[in-house]
Amino acid sequence: MRHFVEQVINNGDFPILDEVIHPNYVYRSPDQVLQGPQALRDLFTAYRTAFPDLHIEIEELVSAGNKTVISFTLSGTHEGDFMGIAATGRPVKVSGMTLSHFDNGKIVEEWELLDQLTLFQQLGIVSIPPETETSSNEGRAMSIEANNDQASEGITLVVGGTGKTGRRVAERLEAHGVDTRMVSRSSNPSFDWNDPSTWNMVLEGVTAAYITYAPDLAIPGATDSIRRFVDEAVAQGVKRFVLLSGRGEEEAQACERIIQQAGVEWTVVRSSWFMQNFSEGEFLGMVLGGTITLPAADVSEPFIDVNDIADVAVAALTEEGHVGEIYEVTGPRTLTFTELAREISQAAGREVQFVQIPKEAFAQAIAESGTPDDIVWLLNYLFETVLDGRNAYVCDGVQRALGREPADFSDFARRIAARGTWNAKNEEGVAA
């Protein structure tokens, strides 16, 4: 799949299509259905004509059996006609996800969703008020603007700017006029946790930083990377850190101590599991298939809406009164995976079940799927260690930071279902 994306989409080597695309290929998206390799070739040609420097960066790839799911970032410059929109010369960068079904080694069917709303916003075609999904109120927006001393002093860095929380944090900061630098492996300049030589450039002029570590602070080596990055950031003049951490993870709490001892202002946002894992993340394919199959015991977890995480992080980055706080953020109630599947079913109007499978079978399946070793280790760690009931209680981090209640899973489910993200017809659907 990586070879296909690099050669066909990024390099325009279309003859490779015949090697990897099944003669009966079908492509599905919310606004069109295409059939056959030639239709796919025409689609790619249209995109590369509109965006000659089109580039797809695969952020995550997970395979199971004959299916592969990728989350990606699309970037390019609008220099040709696109869906009737004349060239604007504007750069774009949007996220998406594709679910691919293989038959005898060739892609026979794909379901894709690209964040077209963001794409059209970046092209200047549509304009909407920033972040209308959450219950952030006008008074808080005014508070951010009034207390935006941090932004006036320098740049606010968002590490992991294409991730679930990172891109939302960056959007909110930019909406409030904060000079924001969003970085990832695909940004320019790029940032890679595994390549410290990329750190110096992105830190130039930065006075505040939102730190997310991919794939997770529990990964071996994360503590050393965080320590080295924090030391370099402080040396370059960063005055405030906001760290996204995880509940019940000793390794994550070791990273928390690093920023707490850095001699600058800090805030920790210690998060429970994301609701969006089921709408734009790792488990979307399972929801679309009708069965959430995981090695998790049916224990309770207070799933959190990442929009709430972003609101807390932005408050900590731009307002006074959050320094030295550890905000343990959760949803307002706990749900087992069985209960979660039932609520998705009710919102989506079709049955989605949770089925627990043995940990050994899950570990073997993801290892054999070609999943990177660090992701294999992380998934096994999460299901063997963190999801043992230790986090089966709610906390008041959102309330303390924002003065309001966190979003409930039922509200999240209705919102996602209304968008059509969980629509399924022969498993048709894609991630937002």
Residue 206's pLDDT is what? 97
Examine residue 330 and state whether it is found in any structural domain, yes or no. Answer: yes
What is residue 371's predicted lDDT score, i.e. its pLDDT? 65
Q: Does one domain contain both 115 and 260?
A: no
pTM for the predicted model, two decimal places: 0.65
How distant, in Å, are the alpha carbons of 6, 40, 47, 86 from that of 80?
A: 22, 19, 9, 6
Instruction: Give the pLDDT confidence score for residue 220 in this predicted structure.
Output: 80
Which one, of 330, 337, 325, 328, lies nearest residue 295 by Cα? Answer: 337
Domain annotation covers residue 72: yes
Residues 177 and 279 in one domain: yes
- Cβ pair 428, 110 in contact under 8 A: no
Answer whether 226's CB lies under 8 Å from 202's CB: no
- Comparing C-alpha atoms, which of 43, 3, 39 is closest to residue 23? 39
Q: Which domain holds residue 59?
A: 2-122
Residue 202 inside a domain? The answer is yes
pLDDT score, position 424: 66
Phi-psi region of 75 (alpha: psi -120 to 50; beta: other; left: phi over 0): beta
Number of domains the chain is built from: 2
Whether 405 maps to a domain, the answer reads yes
The answer to the question of residue 137 being in a domain is: no
Task: Indicate whether 117 and 237 sit together in one domain.
Answer: no
Instruction: State the 10-residue block means of pLDDT for the chain, 432 residues long.
Output: 79 81 87 84 87 88 86 88 79 89 90 83 61 44 44 83 93 92 93 95 97 86 95 96 92 94 96 92 84 83 96 96 96 96 96 88 70 68 74 94 95 92 58 30
**318's tokens:** 């731009």
Is 53 in the same domain as 104?
Answer: yes
What pLDDT shows up at residue 59?
A: 86
For residue 62, what pLDDT is reported? 84
pLDDT given at position 407: 94
| Domain boundary, last residue among 107, 122, 137 | 122
**Predicted local confidence at residue 147, as pLDDT:** 45
Read off the CATH number of the domain in which 411 is found. 3.40.50.720
CA distance linking residue 346 with residue 351, whole number of Å: 8
pLDDT given for residue 5 in this prediction = 84
Tokens of 219: 């990964």
Does 284 lie in the same domain as 207?
Answer: yes
